[in-house]
Amino acid sequence: MTPLFLFGTNFKMNQTPAESAAFYEQLAGSVVQPPGVRLFIIPPFTSLAAVAAVAHKEPHERDIWVGAQNVHWESAGAFTGEISATMLRALEVDLVLLGHAERRRDFHETDVDLNKKVRSVLDNELRALLAVGETAEERSFGVSAETVARQLKIGLHGVAPHELTRLQIAYEPVWSIGAGGTPARPEDVAPVAGSIRRVLHELFGEAGCQVPILYGGSVDATNAGSFTALPDIDGLFVGRAAWTVEGFIATVNAGLAGCG
């Protein structure tokens, strides 16, 4: 069954392997996940082996999913600096983040590129966390819904309904993420999240209604509950507010209070 609520964080280009492993161990020892709740962390590539080693030993038993920040669509080859889904599977990684706004902006990743990455991740029986979201300019022109619809329809092209149990969507409005982002209000998020849900239903029928939609964008313990209270939001994908174990747990608790 799809978890009712998902909460995770992406460390970006931060933390050493020892720091990431210590974070996982402290978090796993400090939090009790209620039924239907799943937590995850996405450390840098250099930390994956160290975190996976902690995640796979007693008493944790993979309580918290471990994710990777990116992947190449090919399984092997002359792609210097890249990591394949085959390699991630060998590390027993649980999920892969795809389409983060920083990679779309700085590395010019297209929706077609991301579709190939989604395909590779699913073919290797990993979970795909596909990030979508509109820029400030797109928002100003009133095409937020059209933007995320395009990203979803291209990014998920060829995905079959039976694969949806390994798919999550993160809605991250580009204008709201990062240190200089403008905090979004629930009334900003609700219509776009609803559009995402409608596109998933259009693509996959009723199965699309079971795909978790996470919200990410200037989220912390003070506003988490206002987003999880929205009908089309099934969890949170948080940035720097969750980079300490205390901040992570505080935001989880606030989010759970909102969706309860």
172 given a catalytic annotation:
yes
Catalytic residue among 56, 82, 100, 187: 100
| CA nearest neighbour of 248 among 26, 1, 2 | 26
| Side-chain half-sphere exposure of 99, counting CA atoms within 13 A | 31
Rounded to the nearest 10 degrees, how much is the dihedral formed by the CA atoms of 211, 216, 220, 221? -10
Out of 58, 125, 172, 201, which one is annotated catalytic?
A: 172
* Residues 122, 85 contacting (CB under 8 angstroms): no
Question: For the purposes of burial, counting CB atoms within 10 Å of the CB of 34, is it exposed (0-12), middle (13-18) or buried (19 or more)?
Answer: exposed
Which residues are identified as catalytic?
100, 172
